[in-house]
Amino acid sequence: LPGDSLLFTAGLLSSQGTLPALPILLVGCFVAAAAGDQVGYVFGRKVGPALFRRPDSRIFKQEYVEKAQGFFDRHGSKTILLARFVPVVRTFAPIVAGVGHMRYRTFVTFNVVGALLWAVGITTLGYVLGDRVPWVEDNLELAILGIVALSFIPIGIEVLRARRAPTPSPDELQEHERGIFGPEIPTD
């Protein structure tokens, strides 16, 4: 399950008493989301540019890292916050931030705010709707499918944009590579 539907379902199950009380669930989801991206950032810092040269495997796809890098190029530091709401990009954004030597303090700030908005917001939505809207409880599978579909809309938009975008020249590709592997930025 994508993270969005998992959080929504956890909130819904909490409203029915199947999972722990909402405050405990919210703290757990928030801590897990923030800690997971911290691990991704450190991994990106340690592995560095070698990650971008790794061949595709069953789990790792170069295109996913490039998609996260493109999102990062367009949105800068806000990527850490915005990527929470974009499947696939959310997985690689903290790694790309680490590889790109994003200032650690900036990363932590956006990571904590993003984790709070995403984990607490979606889990609370599941709790509120599950507790007050009988349709959601009666049609849980449809509700989850709807959330999964909504979470893929940003990817669809990016695919359409990529198809319409002109093919970059060799000079532009070289400049992009310099942006990925550019000079180290202070990490305090």
pLDDT digits (tens, 9 = 90+) for 106-143: 999 999 999 999 999 999 999 998 877 888 778 878 88
Q: Is residue 23 part of a domain?
A: yes
Among all chains, which residue has been given the structure tokens 């850490």?
Answer: 80
Q: Is residue 50 part of a domain?
A: yes
Per-residue three-class SS string for the chain? CCHHHHHHHHHHHHHCCCCCCHHHHHHHHHHHHHHHHHHHHHHHHHHCCHHHHCCCCCCCCHHHHHHHHHHHHHHCCHHHHHHHHCCCHHHHHHHHHHHCCCCHHHHHHHHHHHHHHHHHHHHHHHHHHHHHCHHHHHCHHHHHHHHHHHHHHHHHHHHHHHHHCCCCCHHHHHHHHHHHCCCCCCCC
Q: Is residue 53 part of a domain?
A: yes
Report how far residue 22's alpha carbon sits from residue 9's, in angstroms, rounded to the nearest whole number. Answer: 12
Q: Is residue 22 part of a domain?
A: yes
Tell me the pLDDT tens digit for each residue of 5-21.
889 889 988 998 888 89
Domain span holding position 96: 3-180
Among all chains, which residue has been given the structure tokens 């709707």?
Answer: 129
Looking at residue 152, the DSSP 8-state letter turns out to be H
Q: Is residue 150 part of a domain?
A: yes
Q: Is residue 186 part of a domain?
A: no
Q: What percent of the chain has pLDDT over 90?
A: 28
Q: Is residue 85 part of a domain?
A: yes
The answer to whether residue 177 scores a pLDDT higher than 60 is no
The answer to whether residue 48 scores a pLDDT higher than 90 is no
Tell me the pLDDT tens digit for each residue of 26-41.
999 999 999 999 999 9
Phi, psi of 152 (to 5 degrees): -95, -5
Looking at residue 24, its pLDDT comes to 95
Tell me the pLDDT tens digit for each residue of 64-106.
767 777 777 777 788 898 888 887 778 888 988 988 788 899 9
Total count of domains within the chain: 1
Q: Is residue 188 part of a domain?
A: no
